[in-house]
Amino acid sequence: MTPLRRLLHYFARHRTPLLLGGLCVLGSAAFSLMKPAIVGNAVDELSKAATRATFFRYGLLFVAVAAVEGVFLYLQRWIIIGVSRHIEYEMRNDFYDHLQQLPVSYYQEQRTGDLMSRATNDLSSVRMLIGPAVMHSFSSLIVVAGAFIMMLRIDRMMALTALSSVPVIVFLVKFFGQRIHLRFKSVQDYFGDISARVQENLSGVRVVRAFTQEQHEIGAFKAMNREYVNRNRSLIRLTATFYPALHALIGLMFVFIFFLGSRRILAHSMTIGSFVAFQFYLGRMIWPLIALGWVINLFQRGMASMQRLHDVWSISSGVSPDAGTRIEGEIRGDIDIRDLTFTYPTGTQPVLRNINMQVRAGETIGIVGRTGSGKSTLLSLITRTFEPPASSIFLDGVPVETMQLRQLRSLTGIVPQETFLFSESLAENIRFGRGDATDEEVGEAARLAGLSTDVAGFPQGLGTVIGERGITLSGGQKQRTAIARALVRNPLVLILDDSLSAVDTATEERILNALREVRKGRTALVVSHRVSSVKDADHIIVLDDGRIVERGTHESLLAHGGYYADLYRRQTLEDEIEEIA
C-alpha cells in the first residue's frame, strides 16, 4: 500500500461527512461568485440613476448573499476540519497500535526520539493536509472554474487573455512544490534526529553528569539546533521566493487587464459595471490560484510526513498475540529444547548452537555461563520475544511457535536482565504484571520479592510514585519490584534472568528462601552469574560460546572440576574476603 492509498483509505471511512462538507464548499463558492455580479449590476444602475431605493436594494441583496456564504463557510470548516481531527485521532491510534505490534528486533535499530517525532510532528502535518489543504483546494478549484465561466460571459477575449497566465502559475507551483517537498522532508528527518538526541540525554542524565559531559552535550545540541535552523531557513528562502514570484506575475496581469478594459470602456463596448465585475471575478480566479500554491505547500509537507509514517507502517508487524493454536485442558509446564541453533536476524554467527535440554514440570533449572554465552537469548526464545526455529522448543510437547502467543506469555512470569519500571506508583508497577490483582495480592508479591522493609520506609508505601524508569529506587529495589511484578501473575513458568545481580548477599538469601516456596509446583528457569542463586536447582547447565559445556547438579558439577567448580571457588573466596574486610 502506497502512502497515498493509505491516506485515501482513511478518507473512505469518512466519505459521508466529507461529501456533506464538499456540498458546503460548493454552496459557499456559488454564493461567493454571486457578489461580483451584484456589484457590477449596482454600478451600472447607480451610474444611470443614483436613487436611495437602488442603493438599499443592492446593499441588502449583497448582505444577504454574504450572510448565506458565511453560513456555508462555517459549516464547511466545522465539518471538514472536524473530520481531519477524527482522522488524525484514528491515525495516531493505528500508528501506536502498529508500534506495539512491531518485533523487538525493529526497536534495536531505531531511535525512540525519531519514532516520537513521527507520532507527533508528522501526524500534525498530515492533519493539515487532510483538513485545510483538502478544503481549500476543492474550494479554489470551484471558484477558479466558476469565475472563469463568468468572465467568459462578460468578455471572451479578456477572459482568454487572463487565462494565458495560468500555465505560468502552474509551472511555478510545480517547480517550487517539488523542491519544498524535498526540503521539508529533510527538515522533518533532522527534527527526528534532534528528538532522539534529547531523549537519550534526558534518559541518560545520570551518565552525562557522572562523566561531566554537560558542556559537551550542550555544544552538540547547539550544533544540531543550528543545522536544524539552517535547514528551515533553506525552506523559508524557497517559500519566500515562491510567493513573491506569484504576486508579481498576478500584478502584471492585473495591469494588462486594466489596460484592455479601459480601452473597451472608451470604445463603449463594455460598461463600467461589467468592467468592475470582471475585475472582481479576475481577483476571485487569481487569489485562489495563490491559495493553491499554499495548498501545494501543505500537500508537499503532508505527503513528506505521510511517507515517514508509511516507512514505519510498511514494516511487517510481529506475530499477533491471538495468532496460533490455543492449548485446551491442563498445561503441566514441561519444556523440551531439541537441537536449537539460533542466529539473530542482523547477525552472521549463531548465538546458540545445538542446545538440547529437558525441564520437567515443577523442576528448577539453573543456567550459568560467561557474559555473551547466550543465556538471555535462550530465555527470550522460550517466551518468543524472538521467534525460535521451528520445532526446536516445546511446551508440553507442543511447538511454542504454533501456540497462541497470548496464552504462552500468560503462562510465564519473566524478570528480564534489564529492569524497566514505569513512572507510576510501586503498586501500579507490580500490578502491571496482572491488571486485576488485588491490593492484598500486590502486597504479598512485594513481600515475597523482599520489598517489605523498603516499602515500610517509603512515604506512601506501595502508593509511592517512583519517577521515570524508577529513578528514585536503587538497582536492587528495581530488581525486586520486577520480581514482584512477575510473581503477582502466579505464573506456571517462572523465568529469572540474572534478577538478583544488584542485591546484597543477605537480601539475596532472604529472597531465595521466599522463592523456594514460590517455585514449588512451577517450572523455573534461573539465570545467574552467582552460584548461590542456582546451587539448589534440580539441574544446572553451563553455557559457553552458545553451547552447553557442562550439566548436572551442584554437587556433581563441583566434583567435575570444570567452569562451574572454578566459578564456585572464586565466589566463595570473594565472600570470605568480604567478610574479613
pLDDT confidence tier of residue 503, bands split at 50, 70 and 90: low
Tell me the one-letter amino acid at 399.
P
For the stretch 508-520, pLDDT in tens is 777 777 777 777 7
Amino acid found at 222: K
Contact 548, 341 (CB under 8 A): no
User: What number is the average pLDDT over the span 198-227?
Assistant: 82
Residue 359 β-bridge partners: 335
Q: Return d(Cα 533, Cα 367) in angstroms, integer.
A: 10
Which of the pair, 295 or 538, is modelled with greater confidence? 538
3-state secondary structure of 436: coil
What is the C-alpha to C-alpha distance for residues 411 and 138, in angstroms, rounded to an integer? 55
Buried b / exposed e along 205-230 (16+ C-beta atoms within 10 A): eeebeeeeeeeebeeeeeeeeeeeee
- pLDDT value at 581 more than 60: no
Q: Are 3 and 306 in contact (CB under 8 A)?
A: yes
> What domains lie within the chain, and their CATH numbers?
3-313 (1.20.1560.10), 335-580 (3.40.50.300)
The dihedral region occupied by 490, where left means phi > 0, alpha psi between -120 and 50, and beta the remainder, is left
* pLDDT given at position 71: 94
* pLDDT tens digits along 82-124: 999 999 999 999 988 888 888 777 777 777 777 887 888 888 8
What is the model's pLDDT at position 79?
92
Distance of CA 515 to the CA centre of its chain: 39
Average pLDDT of the residues in 240-255:
76
| Amino acid 318: pLDDT | 66
Q: Retrieve residue 33's grid coordinates.
A: 461568485
Q: Is there a contact between 550 and 542 (Cβ–Cβ < 8 Å)?
A: yes
- Is the alpha carbon torsion for 118, 124, 126, 127 positive or negative? positive
Q: Of the ranges 238-242, 335-339, 426-430, 479-483, which is most confident?
A: 335-339
- Read off φ and ψ for residue 547, nearest 5 degrees: -120, 150
- Nearest alpha-carbon partner for 77 in 142, 139, 122: 139
Residue with cell 521467534: 387
Task: Name the nearest CA neighbour of 163 among 373, 155, 100.
Answer: 155
21-to-34, 64, 147, 290 alpha-carbon distances in Å:
20, 22, 21, 22
